[in-house]
């Protein structure tokens, strides 16, 4: 299970991602299972799920015009611009159940 991903603003006001090495490794292994050697991960929010929101993570080729790209740990995280406020919280991590 993945804890809720997050973004934050650094001292200059730029948006950054906080992600653990375990989460990066999990994402990388997901790409290997899918047979995709990509370093672009689209992250989105949609309605539904127990908490009222579902978090969507998918490997992608290129960002769309309505996505903000944040590079961290060798990955490009593509966040839909009007969803960014949903990510301004805790650290991205992987939790094994």
Q: In terms of pLDDT, which residue wins out, 60 or 8?
A: 60
pTM beyond cutoff 0.85: no
* Residue 30 belongs to domain with CATH number: 2.60.300.12
With respect to residue 93, please indicate whether it lies within any of the assigned structural domains.
no
With respect to residue 70, please indicate whether it lies within any of the assigned structural domains.
yes
With respect to residue 14, please indicate whether it lies within any of the assigned structural domains.
yes
The DSSP code for 2 is B
> Tokens representing 18?
């906080």
Number of domains in the chain: 1
Residue 36 has pLDDT above 80, yes or no: no
Buried b (16+ CB within 10 A) or exposed e, 51-83: eeeebeeeebeebeeebeebeebebbbbbbeeb
Distance of CA 95 to the CA centre of its chain: 15
According to DSSP, the β-strands at 67-72 and 40-47 are: unpaired
* Structural domain harbouring 40: 7-87
Q: How confident is the model at residue 27 (pLDDT cuts 50, 70, 90)?
A: confident
């Amino acid at each position: 299970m993945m804890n809720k991903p997050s973004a934050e603003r650094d001292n200059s006001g730029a948006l950054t991602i906080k992600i653990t090495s375990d989460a990066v490794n999990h994402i990388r292994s997901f790409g290997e299972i899918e047979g995709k050697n990509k370093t672009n991960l689209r992250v989105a929010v949609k309605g539904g799920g127990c908490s009222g929101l579902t978090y969507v993570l998918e490997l992608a080729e290129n960002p769309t015009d309505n996505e903000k790209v944040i590079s961290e740990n060798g990955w490009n995280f593509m966040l839909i611009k009007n969803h960014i406020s949903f990510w301004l919280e805790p650290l991205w991590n992987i939790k094994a159940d």
